[in-house]
Amino acid sequence: MVKRTSFEGDACPIARSLDALGDWWSLLIIREALFGRRRFGEFQSKLGMAKNILAARLRSLVDHGILATAPASDGSAYQEYVLTPKGRGTFPILVALRQWSEEFDDHPEEIATILVDREKGRPIKKLEMHAEDGRLLTPADTTLKPRPAPRRRSA
């Protein structure tokens, strides 16, 4: 590799996101964290991954402000990894990945779980894109614009 390319300085927000969570394990670790896992051993046993790379990923996620280490919680002197608001903010990404799989996977019968509305127990609707005024948008209804330059100092 000579060094796996980093997207950190890229101007594209998608690339910037992938820089933080675009590897094989990060999003799955976050998924487990959203399920309430907090301990090193929980992640390791649920995900079945090597401990060294779990350690590396946890460090990276902490560095990116997605997880934070909490000193205790249940009495024991061990450490815990908890989601920050930034970490919890990945929820729509996971939902989008899930729905893509549900819609397009070649073997959907192998998917074990469905995401439901807790109150009614019914599957949730597909994620929708809306305009500021509420109109439902398709991809074709959108376009990219250059970001307006920030004012140098607040006037």
Partner DNA sequence: GGCATATGGTTTTATAATGCAACCACACAA
Partner DNA sequence: TTGTGTGGTTGCATTATAAAACCATATGCC
The residues that touch DNA, with contacts defined as CB under 7 A, are 1-5, 23-25, 39-42, 49-53, 55-56, 58, 75-79
Q: In whole angstroms, what is the distance from residue 31 CA to residue 33 CA?
A: 5
151 binding a second copy? (CB under 8 A)? no
Tokens linked to 21? 């969570």
Q: Between 57 and 86, how does the x/- string for binding to a second copy read (CB under 8 A)?
A: --------x-------------------xx
C-alpha torsion angle, residues 52, 56, 58, 64 (rounded to 10): 180
| Cβ distance to DNA smaller for residue 84 or 99 | 84
Instruction: Report CA-CA distances (Å) from 39 to 12, 68, 77, 96, 146.
Output: 33, 12, 12, 26, 42
Q: Between 106 and 135, how does the x/- string for binding to a second copy read (CB under 8 A)?
A: x--xxxxxxxxxxxxxxxxxxxxxxxxxxx
Angle between helices 51-63 and 26-34 (to 10 degrees): 80
In the chain, the amino acid numbered 75 is G
| Cβ distance to DNA smaller for residue 5 or 101 | 5
95 binding a second copy? (CB under 8 A)? yes
55 binding a second copy? (CB under 8 A)? no
Of the candidates 36, 71, 75, 92, which one interacts with a second copy according to CB under 8 A? 92
Question: Is residue 81 a contact partner of residue 33, using CB atoms and an 8 Å limit?
Answer: yes
Tokens linked to 88? 């919890």
142 binds, among a second copy, DNA, none (CB under 5 to 8 A by kind): a second copy
